A and B are shown apart, each in its own frame.
Chain A
């Protein structure tokens, strides 16, 4: 026998279940309890950069929209800075920019969407540069541990082509599952990003 390493073990994940909204977005569950719910405003009013909307569906293995899903977004500001003390430039982040949001689907259609600003490029490992992206975390009934993925932008083709994470996806035709399609609706920039949980066109998920 040898000495014990004495590390604690991470608490195991469990599904968020069908009623995740009660805890994390009670307004969506149908009642009002907190002074202010968290995660409704990702960028705040003062953030520089292009105002965008992101919309999509989460689709299950049968091709049906997942109507009880909750997503969380985490992103840098337009200058590529995270509002977190371990980003050395975090003091430059605009007042009110949190970079984090919670996104609930329409319970009837499964469509979700959020307003934010388009993030800037961020540093990667070993001097590389990561293309602009939004980190997404997806929980729902039937999902045993939250799924991580990234949303990249169609109109950043050059940056995407050099992105160290996209380039880790060995099957080249799967890389597009990480890229949101740019459209304009009534003069507003909308990125469409459908997430396929399983099967044909399955989105690339990340073990971060």
Chain B
């Protein structure tokens, strides 16, 4: 197995914690008892962090990225048919090829197919709500799905999540592992959401909002949204002290 030729093999850029949510964010109530109080131990990369699981196209099936078809029983699911597509890049702007991207979401009514979700909006018998794919050589990925609905949750008395799709991505090393949420352009719930507002930087929030992409829509069929994902960059090898043993 050989690594992607376009990526340097150096250490990852230090994670900029100013654009990530801190652990303790009191308005998102569950974080109060689930946030460490002590400072994290900062660790320079070793082989344990630079490496990570390798996935291939054998791990997924072609239909896995099509949420309109991958759980359809009698007919297609109900809701707004959308394409979500984009690239996985690193902070240097280089594509991250052959990496696993997984998504999950509620159905058009905001109901999750999960035995713990008791919201009164009904399950869609033809919609599972998860998908996965592996990026191509250019870091490109796409999904076809139903636009999820907003849903209520027990935070404040009247809290509603914006429409969102959960996104999980690996990159090439375990230090790049990331889970985030995709929001949709123009959704008025975004600025009200305490989970969105765990992120202290408005530009960083904006980068989680997928743009309507008319150029990628399929006329008379499916609307498209574009969502690029950026993972930590890697240092070039110009003046780098090579890790011992590498």
Contacts and interface: CB of A to CB of B under 8 A. Distances in A.
Interface of A: 6-24, 26, 29-31, 33-36, 38, 60-62, 64, 66, 68, 72, 74, 76, 82-88, 90, 98-100, 107, 122-128, 130, 133, 135, 137, 139-147, 150, 165, 168-169, 174, 197-199, 202-208
Contact of B31 (A68, A123, A143, A165): A143
Interface residues of B, number: 96
B233 interface: yes
Nearest to A140: B34
Contacts of A174: 38
Given A10-B91, A85-B2, A86-B51, A29 B34 contact: no
Interface stretch (B75-83, B112-120, B213-221): B112-120
B236 to A, nearest CB: 12
Interface of B: 1-3, 9, 15-17, 19-23, 25, 28-38, 40-55, 59-61, 64, 70-71, 89-93, 100, 102-105, 112-117, 128-130, 132, 166, 168, 172-175, 177-181, 195-196, 198-199, 201, 203-205, 207-208, 229-233, 243-246
Contacts of A18: 114, 116-117
Contact of A135 (B15, B40, B174, B233): B174
Given A124-B46, A168-B43, A147 B36 contact: yes
Nearest to A34: B64
B28 A142 contact: yes
A40 to B, nearest CB: 12
12 contacts: A9-B207, A10-B230, A11-B178, A14-B199, A15-B30, A20-B104, A29-B115, A85-B2, A88-B245, A123-B245, A128-B244, A142-B28
Nearest to B174: A74
Given A13-B20, A29-B115, A31-B113, A7 B43 contact: no
A23 B28 contact: no
The secondary structure that dominates the A interface is loop
Contact of A142 (B9, B31, B112): B31
A105 B153 CA distance: 22
A165 B193 CA distance: 38
A21 B114 contact: yes
Nearest to B196: A14
Contacts of B177: 72, 137, 146
A9 B162 CA distance: 23
A21 B44 CA distance: 31
Given A33-B71, A74-B174, A123-B47, A11 B208 contact: yes
B33 A8 contact: no
A149 B109 CA distance: 37
B114 A11 contact: no
